[in-house]
Amino acid sequence: MDVLSDAIAAMRTGRPHSARQDKYAPWGIRFEASAGAGFHVVLQGSAWLIPSDGDPVALGPGDVVFLAHGRGHALASAVDVPLEEVRLDPGTVWPELPPVQGSSKATPTVLLCGAYWLDRARAHPLLTELPEVVHLPARVGAHRSLRAAVELLGVELEEPQPGSDTIVTSLLDTLLLYILRAWWQRERHGQGHPTGWSAALADPGVAAALRAIHGDPSHPWTVEELGTRGGLSRAAFARRFATLVGEPPLTYLTWWRMTTAGRLLRAEDMPLRLIAQRTGYTSEFAFAKAFKREYGVAPGQYRKGISQGTTHTP
């Protein structure tokens, strides 16, 4: 199983949405904090990204920025222009941005903006360790797959055709994975040594164990067996996994099983005994006990709360 794809699938809720925007200087828009993770692409012209904490970032044509943590931020033609407030809701339509402020005779800045809705209550550390702003500057020959996805998305948003609704949703999912892949590849091959999950995914032994856990969470994994997958002794593997991932192998296994169980309860109408089997528990009773210890409610109550919109995952 692809660990990155799996981690994103576990957190994603609802449908992503985006829009193409033409802005004429002077202009400025502020996005309040939300449950979403946002991205912006400068297709033409230039802009400033103004994060809630940190220095402004100059953006040029082809630059991509990703804001994983849902903190407020702004985009503007200059750092000192007035900002219009924009509120993002977890719907299917990108909000109507404030009207053009500058002269329509000027060359516009063309933006591609969007948001993903994430369940932050059980956020995977792959995303939680990202910086507030992931900036991927445009460079010749760099991140070709990401650039191709951006171009396709821009075309679909500029000239909608039959099927565009489904195509845009799929391209947004693809774009998110390309953004994250580009970031971790840059971390892995950049100066210094990668840390955290960048290092974990780059480490052959730990990465092999993570793929095994994600590929078959129902298997009764042992530390020794996971270490063997990566060609390491039990003790060496346990030390390396805990150092890079931040917790022991079986602790992560349990967390992932419960995260998978929560996703199945939210998205699938399958009996609890099958969910128990899918997450490595030999009986529905053992599964229910483990689930309640993790979530604070029984699986049936959790599912009922989700359907009524009252459940809050810990």
Task: Say yes or no to pLDDT of 228 above 70.
Answer: yes
User: Strand, helix or coil at 12?
Assistant: strand
- Mean pLDDT estimate for the chain: 86
| Distance (Å, whole) CA 201 – CA 211 | 10
Lowest mean pLDDT among 42-56, 110-124, 225-239: 110-124
- Own/partner pairs for 263-268, CB < 8 Å, 24+ apart? 263/9, 263/10, 265/299, 265/302, 265/303, 265/306, 266/303, 266/306
β-partners of residue 57 are 49
Task: Say yes or no to pLDDT of 87 above 90.
Answer: no
Contacts of 142 (CB under 8 A, 6+ apart): 182
- The domain made up of 3-189 has a fold known as Jelly Rolls (2.60.120)
Task: Say yes or no to pLDDT of 308 above 80.
Answer: no
Could you tell me whether strands 73-76 and 36-44 are parallel, antiparallel, or unpaired per DSSP bridges?
Answer: unpaired
Domain 3-189 and domain 203-308, same fold? Reply is no
Question: Per-domain residue ranges for the chain?
Answer: 3-189, 203-308
Task: Say yes or no to pLDDT of 164 above 90.
Answer: no
Higher pLDDT, 247 or 311: 247
Buried b (16+ CB within 10 A) or exposed e, 215-233: eebeeebebeebbbbbebe
Task: Say yes or no to pLDDT of 37 above 60.
Answer: yes
- Do the beta carbons of residue 50 and residue 303 sit within 8 Å? no
Task: Say yes or no to pLDDT of 105 above 70.
Answer: no
How would residue 183 be classed by pLDDT, with cut points 50, 70 and 90?
confident
How would residue 20 be classed by pLDDT, with cut points 50, 70 and 90?
confident
**Would you mind telling me the total number of residues written for the chain in this entry?**
314
Give one DSSP letter per residue of 75-134, joined into a string. Answer: EESSTTS--EEE---SSSSPPPPPPP-S-TTSPPEEEEEEEEEE-GGG--HHHHTS-S-E
CATH number of 203-308: 1.10.10.60
